[in-house]
Amino acid sequence: MTRTAASAGPQLDNIDLANDLANAELTSSAVVAQQIADGCLKDGPVGRVGLELEAHCFDPADPMRRPAWDEISDVLRWLSPLPGGSAITVEPGGAIELSGPPADGVLPAIDAMTGDQAVLRNALADAGLGLVFLGADPLRSPQRINPGARYRAMEQFFAASDSGAAGAAMMTSTASIQLNLDAGPQAGWADRVRLAHALGPTMIAIAANSPMLAGEFSGWQSTRQWVWGQMDSARCGPVLGVSGDDPGTDWARYALKAPVMMVHAPDAIAVTYYVPFTDWVDGRVLLGDRRPTIADLEYHLTTLFPPVRPRQWLEIRYLDSVPDAIWPALVFTLTTLLDDPAAADLAAAAVEPVATAWDTAARLGLRDRRLYAAANRCLSIAAERAPDELATAMQQLMLNVETGRCPADDFSDRVIEHGIAATVAQAARSAQGEP
């Protein structure tokens, strides 16, 4: 269909107006705070579920080798669209992420992601590559392969900060499961956000799957969480305020205090000295010889990485990447404990004693008796509501938790018995479908 100049005019006018608004300079941190608070969560029912799964890409014939950008890109360029609708991205260090669209319920989300993972695995196997589902790369040193300007600037930002080593590890050596859930009705936002945070330590202990980094045991069950804990808390710490009664205001305060990571001029340029976003807005510091625009604000929000991030929905970011045998049960458990009202009430009581035990969970996992008790209670609550389709995965996850073992324990045992390179190579071959 050919569009005439007359019919195109109003649409072009709308595009121009949108561009003008995006490029309008912001001049008041109070106005910006209100804008952030008003837009961070969307009122509505719960029920939609989006999944984002990351895994490290290895060559099982040479697990020390990091596959190159072009090598991975050549495989992925032929895979779109995937049957379940997932988008494929390559993380800075070569980890591959599948980001599924919102599904009406957790089971459809799991089914769609499982199908997309199978297509991705087969394509990588044909190229001699495999995926390894761990929260941290246990073998290779941090190295960026993604040439994107955003990641180059991010690398420069961290290198100039006190968290340079942790920033490099976070960017290039970690992998997670991210769960996206509706914010729910506005009247329940405070309780829902508080519970999403309170569940964090218990779910970290259940999912901990990164006992090693760069070839060495770290002494932590979730080294991924330890890495995040070494980062600037103004960018990566929990958002939750003292009372937690107003998630929008908490997020606005957090976002304005967080330092600016990069500015587009037009390519991403790292800001290598500490500039809180509020200082840029109020003109105390000018970056790129100007104040920020709405586009700058929106981009700034994408550079903040708290464990629970409001993006109109709730993006829950604290789970290590775990193997196929249990990730569907893990996803179902966390979704159920937040979306089922009766389960949520029970879970809130179960995790209250360990609601702030983030470091203990990452270091000890289920070896901590309070986290062990909370984890068993939460799994029991979820298992009572689990459908038959997830019976095998739920039974495996429950067995792990009942015996006080997280996935990191299984991986550590294999490394001790077979060596780290052999264990990683075998995991990558298993992803290719080999025994």
- For residue range 234-280, list pLDDT tens digits in order: 999 999 876 778 999 999 999 999 999 999 888 899 999 999 999 99
C-beta separation of 288 from 265 below 8 A: yes
Return the residue matching tokens 């859930």.
181
Domains of the chain, CATH where assigned: 48-430 (3.30.590.20)
pLDDT-derived band at 126, boundaries 50, 70, 90: very high
Q: Encoding tokens for residue 186? A: 């506005």
pLDDT reading at 5 higher than 70: no
pLDDT value of position 17: 44
Instruction: Tell me the one-letter amino acid at 168.
Output: A
C-beta atoms surrounding 165 within 10 Å: 13
pLDDT value of position 22: 64
Q: Which of 16, 78, 140 is nearest to 421 (CA)?
A: 140
- Crossing angle for the helix pair 29-39 and 247-257, nearest 10 degrees? 130
Rounded CA gap, 239 and 225, in Å?
A: 16
pLDDT reading at 352 higher than 60: yes
Rounded CA gap, 223 and 140, in Å?
A: 14
pLDDT reading at 110 higher than 60: yes
- The mean per-residue pLDDT over the stretch 376-394 comes to 98
The per-residue pLDDT for range 162-221, each reduced to its tens digit, is: 888 999 999 999 999 999 999 999 999 999 999 999 999 999 999 999 999 999 999 999
C-beta separation of 434 from 62 below 8 A: no
Tell me the pLDDT of the chain averaged across its residues: 93
Cis peptide before 83 (omega within 30 of 0): no
Rounded CA gap, 179 and 236, in Å?
A: 17
pLDDT value of position 265: 81
pTM of the model: 0.93
pLDDT value of position 317: 97
